[in-house]
Structures are given as structure tokens and as C-alpha cells.
Structure 1
Amino acid sequence: MTVLSGHLDHAPAGDTVRLWYGNRQIKTLLSATGDFKLVVPGLRATTDASFSYARQRTRLYLSPGDQLRLTLDFARFDETLKYTGRGAAANNYLAQMLWRFAGAHPDPGPEQQRTPTTTPAQMRSLTDAFRQRQQAFLASYAAAHPLTPTFQRQAALDIDLEWARLLLDYPGYHRYAAKQAAVLPTTYYNFLQQLPRQQLNEQATREPVLRFLSAYGGRLLPDGPLPADPAEARRLYAVATAELGAHQARDWAMYQLLSFQLNDNVAAVVAAYPIFRAQNQDSTLARNLRQMLQAQLRLQQGQLAPAFTLSNHQGRPVSLRDFIGKVVYLDFWGTWCAPCRQEMPALTALVRRFAGRDVVFISVAVNDPEDKWQRVLAAEQLTGLGQVQLRSPDSTVPSAYQVTAYPTYLLIGRDGRLRRVPAPRPAAGAETVAALEQALQE
């Protein structure tokens, strides 16, 4: 049996302790004294995991039979995070790496040191030095603690991936910060050849690898959206094959790149999909991308909005079809989502502006415990005239609308067909008002 327990000093009360591993999640409430215990079912192999509480998060490395105990002072989360018990050595390494190289520790990384005038050569020097400091820490920690060879290889790979990600991010940073493209030497991307391809392919679905592959998408498309041209998709596949090999890492890189294009550039994904299906070696990726593409095509302007029925704050079922004949401003949000909460004053102002007109404001809270949702609705006075508050206890409804970020807003016409996907946010002010006025006239 694998167990993670712990104690959080000075933690905000009333939130949920969550542990993700693989595609599973387990959770429990933090006790009034700051204690928790999670029994991890079905863990048959060592895996990466993630622990979170009240929007703070940290990585874990779990093995079957681990008996980990976590302690920390919530006010100094990264600095005080510590583990004891079986499995502590690997997880204390991860905690110390986070504190030393990604937290508030006084060892700045390249992202803190670079400036708009940093040249490619200077960025390489900064990044190489950062990598060397991380490698030295891993070596010294491994000499003093019982880390398994498998974990040491994985930790070394993660250092290399972060090094490569920083170098991949540099051209995009320079374009944004210096307002012009960086002049890269022809050999700039040769660092990709130093990465261990076999490990990349074996671990292609681990979070550090996927983060690197996401950054690699910027190397493939440095100048913006993917053109809706099959020849361009073939060219990108050729580049990725040369730099990553014709295996899982390449296929996941292309899968992520095309997935990110779906919301705003669906025509390009339609053009690229046959090449992706023919080239990639993972039929599951092809099927997943096809399903997402089909769902996105159903969400184009003029298509019928996906039907749903959910319970409102009074426990009564409410269906989208109940509002045929009215314009619907649909909002997917969560009480756990800070940007969502920031939009609330502007949303309330919109509701007041369109009071008495044929506009219905529907807010769907996603993955929120009902008691917390009800408390926020009452505290923020969000159940007034013109607002329909619904709760989606799982991801079924947001998935039908291809919601990948929160908040997400959509505008539905009187005929039940999509008018704006996505719609402007409430805080967009005049743009949002104009979109609603136009929908009322159609």
C-alpha cells in the first residue's frame, strides 16, 4: 500500500488536498488541524505525481509501497517543503530543486537574467551555466542520499530538458521583449542533437518532456499560426523528424502543436490532419486529434450549440433549449479560477446593462464542490435577475464546448446557433456590448 500523509502549517482552511498520478486523481479535505492522509490505490509502478492545495503545487515521485509524510509551512511553501519516510530521498531532491532553481531562492535562472539585449551566444552561456549548477547539485545530492539509478537518470534528463526548453524559449522572448526577431546562427538549434532520443521516446508522456515538446512547437512555428497548407505540415514533420527522430517524441510534439491551433486556426488543422495521421506511429494520438477536430468543427459559427441540462443553485434542472428565442452569453468558470473571479464585476455590470432585454447570462461552474459553489454565489450575490447559475460536476459539458482554459465565454443566438466562439470577455467592455447588441439584432 502506498500512502502520502502530511501536515500543513498556516494553511487556509476549507480547501481540498489533491494528488494526481497518471490519469487518476485522489483527494481529501484538509483537517481543522492541518493534517491529511491519502491512500494511493492501484499503484503498480514508479510514477510522477503532483500534490496540490489551495493553488500551490509540487511534483512527487511515487513508488509502490512508499510511506511518505509531507510537512511544510504554507506561507513558505517551497522553502519549507520536506518529506520523511520511505521514498523521502527522491522527493526531497525534487523539493530542493524547486526551491533552489525555480522558487524564490537567490540563485537566478536565465529567465531572470536575460534582457531584451541578450544575444543568442549570451543566452547559451547563461543556460549552460544554469544547467551545470543543476547537474552539480544532483551529483552532490546523489552522493549523500540513496537515490536509485533509475531516478538519477530521470533527474538528469529533466535537467537537460529544462536547459533545452530555455534555449527554445529564447527566440520568442526576444521577439516579444526586443520587438524584433533574434538573429540566430545557423547552428543555434544544434543543441537538440544532444538530447537522449531513446529516453525522450520512452518518457514522452511525462510532464517535463511534454513541457519541452510544447516549447519545441515555437521552434517549428516561430512566426505565428500554421498556414492551412498540407505542404507546410509535411515540412514541419521533416524538421521534427530530423531533430527528434521518427518516434514518439516527434509525434507528441506535432500532436501538441496541432492541438494548440484548434481553437483559432481550425482550417490549418484540417489541412494538416491527413499528414499527421499518415506520419505518426501512435494510433491513439491520431484518434484523439480527429475527435478534437470533429468537436471543434461542430463549434464553428452557425452550428447548433451543444445541448445540455444541468442543475441550478436551487437544485432545479435547466436546459440550454429553455432559452431558444433569447441571446445567451455562456460562461465556463470555477470558484478556484482567479481570472474568472476577476471578471465578475464586469460580468455583473453587463447583466445590469442588459436587464429586461432578451439576453440570458448562463454561468457554468466546472468541477466545483456544491457547498463551496453555493457559498461563493451567496457572497458575490450572483443569483440575481438575468443570471442563471449552473454547476457541471464533471468535464462532460465543457468538453462538448472544447473548453481548455478558464474562463471561456461563448455567444449563442436566438436560434440556438453559435455566434461568437470564443466571445469577448466581460472586461472587454465596448467590444462585448457590441457583440451582444449585434446578436440581438440578428
Structure 2
Amino acid sequence: MKKIALLALLSAASFYASAQRVKLDIANTTATTVTYLYGDAFDNRIEGKTKYQISADQHRTADITFNFKQPTRASLVLSPDGGYGKQTFFYRLYLSPGDDIMLSADFKANGNGLTVTGKGSENNQPLLAFRPLVVSSEQRFLGDSVPDRVIAVINKEQLESKAALNEYLKKYNPSAPFVKAQKYDVEYEALTTYFGFKENNKGRGKQPYARNVAKWQRVQDSLLDAISRDLALPARVSANKPAPADKSDILLKHIPGRKYSVINNPDALGTSNYNSLIREFVGRYREYLSEQAFYRPKDIIAAWYGADSVAAKQAYNDDSNNVLREKIINKFFSGTVEEYLLANLIADIKAKANPKNVVSIYNRFKKRFPQSQYVAPYRSYIDSVIENQKYQLTDKMVFAPGNGNKLNTLDEILALSKGKTVFVDMWGSWCAPCRENLAQHGPAIKEHFKNKGLNYLYIANRDERNQKDWKSLIAYFKLEGTHVLANPQLSQDIMTKLKRSTYPTYFIIKKDGTYELYDGDSRLDRDKLFKQIEAALAME
């Protein structure tokens, strides 16, 4: 039987005492990389190295050493196809200082042939740790007008999780911190799953949902009651921050005192379901406030910005995302939970390349939590934002006459680019994937095609009311090239002819006036794009 081994050797006993080493020995796979995911998506952003090469010998091997100062959740992902398909191996780890774990598997063996030995193995057996990546079973109920079917499945899954945990505790006698973390994770499983489903389901049938909103809320309240009862939560988490009164159906409807402790629970922090719940709550609550601001802007602005004034209205209109999420976190959370969510907010701003007000948010965070472990990791990012925000529009950032607002068809764009090879980026200042690609790939594209005759055309869509942000980001990302502020007719004509409906969309205009859609998705495969552009440049 062929196996793949991950071996980590520590040279100093003092270092070994605080480090964690994981040795993998996994057979019969073509994968060459194991991806390490620390805790949750936010934690992984600040951790640094996340991918480890697996040696290509008969027993593919790689050495992984961690240095966590406290017990930490992590996951190892091994995928032969580089994505998250049927052959993906996903293993959740619970790593404590001093752990020395050997994880073996064989993809051709029954049950993947999983075995775990070594110090810390009692916390990492396959019964709870191995998770095949499958689409959540609840998704088939999206569109339901009442919660009956989905909550039945969710409750059943939680009972199965509790049974699996009880079996695990009897069989392996894991450590006390592991037991506590697992119990919290299972306890929050149903609420987290239901809340995420409910919020996604709202948009599938707004009128049927609205007619039955009380039913959806009663189920949610019962899940909150169950957690509060099972965990015997206190009436208040913080004497300095009383439970907020709220009239929405987001999560906190008519939930004073004890139920408030369900979402502001520092003991549960670090468990995947609780972390997911509070992160989703912040995002969904911002969506709720934005929706309410459309119908009653004076009430929302007065409640969240202190007054119904011109300055308050301007502050909301200028940034109804980043600062508003900060305000939501400050209102509903305290202590380590508030610290975690504020740091997560900065991480999300960075990931989505949406720098508006992040410097002031970071400075307030640093003042509020000066000793936070998250202050230092984001210092260099904040410095880069400060530097980029100094950039100004230059003569190399050319705006089409009238910002191109009179252009109505793709044919007019082709005429504008006659005789040139042009890379066209259909983007928007509001579009997170657009900004992410500009930040991640923009400089590399410009460097690769420097002095090779490639021209750049950036067509901003749905940005006619965001001209300030549009021009600000052009300077921020140093988007040298020609810029067009598309009217709705131009956007529709181009996207219809390209047979695309989402942004960003990329295409290449050739010297002969023909065009070619980028042969990839919005994540942008740089190598694939380079080959297409190089082929277009090579045309006579």
C-alpha cells in the first residue's frame, strides 16, 4: 500500500514544547499541495503561509510545523484537481501546544484508510475530524415559504452531531479544552445553519416569506432558547453593555438579557459555528439597515449616526458598508468577541480591496484594543492604504469625452479602439471581485506587457451615481489607460453580445476590430489571460 507522509522535525526541545507538528502519510493521490486553513476564513488571512508542497517521491511527503500558543482549530485540504471536487480530502485538526500527530490515509482503501497516532491524537480521530466536502443538504429547500422542512433536517443533523460527539468522548477520552470546544460547536450548529439558510431564503420568494415571517421567527427563537437553556447563559455578558432592543427579524427580535448572551458569548469564540454565526449576523444586519434606509432614511441615519443632519446623511451616503458594520459590531458585541469581529472587518476590507475609511477603523480598533494580537498583522496593510490614497489622477489615466457617457454600443467601443490591441475590463467601484482582481492582478498584468503595445480600457458599470468613488479608485489602483463611465444602454449592449451577466468581465479587442472574450471565470487565471493577450498581440 502506497502512502504519503507529512513529517515535521523540530530541532530544539524548547521550541517543540510550544509547537505543534503534523505528519501526513497519504497514499494514492495525484495532489502535490496540501492547503492549511487556520480556524476560519478570517484567521487564515492573517496567518501567512497556507500552502505546503508534498514531495513527489513514492510516499509523497511534506513537513508542517505550527506554533500556536493556545489550542487552535485548523484544517488540512488535499485536492488532486486543485479545487474542491469529489476527490478532495478535508481534515479538521484540533492542535494544542506540544502536539506531535501522525495522520495516515490511503485514497484507495475503504474509508480512506484513516488512522491518527501520536501526542494529541485523542483530539483528532476521524470520527469527528474527517469531513467529505459535500453541498449542504438544506440547500434543496431554498424557496420554501415556511420553515417546516428545513428545520426538520437541521434538527436531525444536530442530533446526529451530538450522538457522534458522545460516541467520540466515550471512545477516545479527549482533552478537556477539546470537549468544551466541541460541545459549543455542536450547540450552535442548528442556529447557525438555520440563520444562514433563512437569510438566503428571503430573496427567493419575498412575498411568501413576508406572509410567514412570524413562523420563521418562532423557529429561530426556539433555537436561541435551546442554546440559552443548554449552556445556562448569564442574563448579561457585559454590565457595561446592556442587551440591545431591536425590532427586526434578523436575529434579535424581542431578545433581552439572557438570549442576548447567545450571540455575545466569549466562551464560544473560536468554534466554527459560533464564529460563522456572528460574522453572518454583522453582514446580514448591515443588509437589513441598508434596506430600511431606503424606506425610512431619516430614522436609520438618526439612530446610527446620532442625528438627522446633513453631516450624518453625508457620512451614511459616503460609506454605508465599512463604517456601518463597525457601528453594528460596537453596538451588539463586547470584549473578545467585539475584538474578533472588528479585526475580521479589517480583514474583509483588505480581502475585498475596499479601503474606504479602513485607516480610521483600524486606528479606532488599535485604541480600543491596544494589546490585540491582530494589531501588528495589519500595520503594513494600513501603511500601504495610506500610501495608495496619496495617488492622484495623472495624464496617463485618460477619460473618454464626456466620460464616455454618450457611447451606447459595443461597436462604438470597437471604433474607439481601432487598430489597437486592447484589454478591456468591465468593472464597477461597487463590485468586490472587480476590486480584488485589480489589486491582485492589475500590477502584474501591466508589468508583464510593459512596452509590448497593449492598451487598456476600463469600462465602469452601474457607477453613474458613484463618480467620486469611481475616480478615487482609478487613482488608488493606478489604472493607467482609457476610462469609460458606461450608461445602462452601453453596459447592456456589451454584456448581451458577450453573453455574460456578471462582473468583472474581460475581453480582448484585436487590431482587426474583432474581439475575444477572456476564456476563464471572474477569479482570473493570469497565465490563461497572458496567453490570450500574447496571441492577440502577435496578429499582424
TM-score range, shorter chain: 0.5 to 0.7
Q: Does the CA contact (< 8 Å) of 1:59 and 1:94 recur in 2?
A: no
Larger strand proportion, structure 1 or 2? 1
Task: Name the structure 2 match of 1:178.
Answer: 205
CA–CA separation in structure 2 for the residues paired with 1:385 and 1:78: 53
Task: Name the structure 2 match of 1:48.
Answer: 73
Alignment of 1:13-412 (within 5 A): 15-19=32-36, 23=47, 25=49, 27-38=52-63, 40=65, 42-54=67-79, 55=82, 56=88, 57-74=90-107, 80-93=113-126, 95=128, 98-99=131-132, 103=134, 111-117=138-144, 119-180=146-207, 181-182=209-210, 183-185=212-214, 187=218, 189-190=220-221, 191-192=223-224, 194=227, 200-202=265-267, 204-205=269-270, 207-223=272-288, 225=290, 229=301, 231-232=303-304, 245-253=333-341, 256=344, 260=348, 273=361, 284=372, 303-304=391-392, 325=396, 357=420, 385-386=452-453, 412=479
- Please state if 1:426 is matched with 2:506: yes
Q: Does the CA contact (< 8 Å) of 2:192 and 2:274 recur in 1?
A: no
Deviations 1:13-53 (A, max 9, x none): 5x233545573547343232243242525455432223233
Q: Does the CA contact (< 8 Å) of 1:10 and 1:74 recur in 2?
A: yes
Q: Does the CA contact (< 8 Å) of 2:24 and 2:103 recur in 1?
A: yes
Q: Does the CA contact (< 8 Å) of 2:181 and 2:271 recur in 1?
A: no
Residue 164 (structure 1) shift: 2.2
Aligned amino acid, residue 92 of structure 1: Q
SS of structure 2 residue aligned to 1:36: coil
Q: Does the CA contact (< 8 Å) of 1:8 and 1:72 recur in 2?
A: yes
Cα separation, partners in 2 of 1:123 and 1:84, compared to 1, 3 Å: same
What percent identity do the matched residue pairs reach? 15
Residue 155 (structure 1) shift: 0.9
Aligned amino acid, residue 9 of structure 1: A
Q: Which runs of 5 or more structure 1 residues have no equivalent in the other structure? A: 306-320, 328-349, 368-372, 374-380, 389-408, 434-442
CA–CA separation in structure 1 for the residues paired with 2:285 and 2:516: 33
- Please state if 1:5 is matched with 2:20: no
Q: Does the CA contact (< 8 Å) of 1:361 and 1:387 recur in 2?
A: no
Q: Does the CA contact (< 8 Å) of 2:68 and 2:96 recur in 1?
A: yes
CA–CA separation in structure 2 for the residues paired with 1:6 and 1:79: 13
CA–CA separation in structure 2 for the residues paired with 1:259 and 1:29: 29
Residue 240 (structure 1) shift: 6.3
Q: Which has the larger radius of gyration?
A: 2
Scaled by the length of structure 1, the TM-score of the pair is: 0.57
Aligned amino acid, residue 63 of structure 2: L
Q: Does the CA contact (< 8 Å) of 1:7 and 1:71 recur in 2?
A: yes
Cα separation, partners in 2 of 1:288 and 1:410, compared to 1, 3 Å: same
Aligned amino acid, residue 232 of structure 1: W
Q: Does the CA contact (< 8 Å) of 1:303 and 1:418 recur in 2?
A: no
Deviations 1:81-128 (A, max 9, x none): 4423332332224655624xx648xxxx65245241252354334322
CA–CA separation in structure 1 for the residues paired with 2:508 and 2:303: 37
Residue 154 (structure 1) shift: 0.6
Q: Does the CA contact (< 8 Å) of 2:283 and 2:325 recur in 1?
A: no
Deviations 1:142-200 (A, max 9, x none): 11222122211111111223322212212322123335555432555534462655994
Q: Does the CA contact (< 8 Å) of 1:360 and 1:387 recur in 2?
A: yes
Cα separation, partners in 2 of 1:245 and 1:365, compared to 1, 3 Å: closer
CA–CA separation in structure 1 for the residues paired with 2:110 and 2:370: 39
Deviations 1:361-398 (A, max 9, x none): 9999979xxxxx9xxxxxxx99995579xxxxxxxxxx
Q: Does the CA contact (< 8 Å) of 2:423 and 2:454 recur in 1?
A: yes
Cα separation, partners in 2 of 1:287 and 1:383, compared to 1, 3 Å: closer
CA–CA separation in structure 1 for the residues paired with 2:368 and 2:303: 16
Cα separation, partners in 2 of 1:361 and 1:245, compared to 1, 3 Å: closer
CA–CA separation in structure 1 for the residues paired with 2:450 and 2:391: 29
Aligned amino acid, residue 124 of structure 2: N
Q: Which runs of 5 or more structure 2 residues have no equivalent in the other structure? A: 1-15, 83-87, 232-260, 294-299, 307-323, 399-412, 426-436, 456-475, 487-501, 510-514, 519-540
Q: Does the CA contact (< 8 Å) of 2:103 and 2:115 recur in 1?
A: yes
Scaled by the length of structure 2, the TM-score of the pair is: 0.48
Q: Does the CA contact (< 8 Å) of 2:116 and 2:124 recur in 1?
A: yes
Cα separation, partners in 2 of 1:356 and 1:58, compared to 1, 3 Å: farther
Cα separation, partners in 2 of 1:361 and 1:36, compared to 1, 3 Å: farther
Residue 232 (structure 1) shift: 3.0
**Count of residues paired in the alignment:** 349
SS of structure 2 residue aligned to 1:151: helix
CA RMSD across the alignment: 5.7
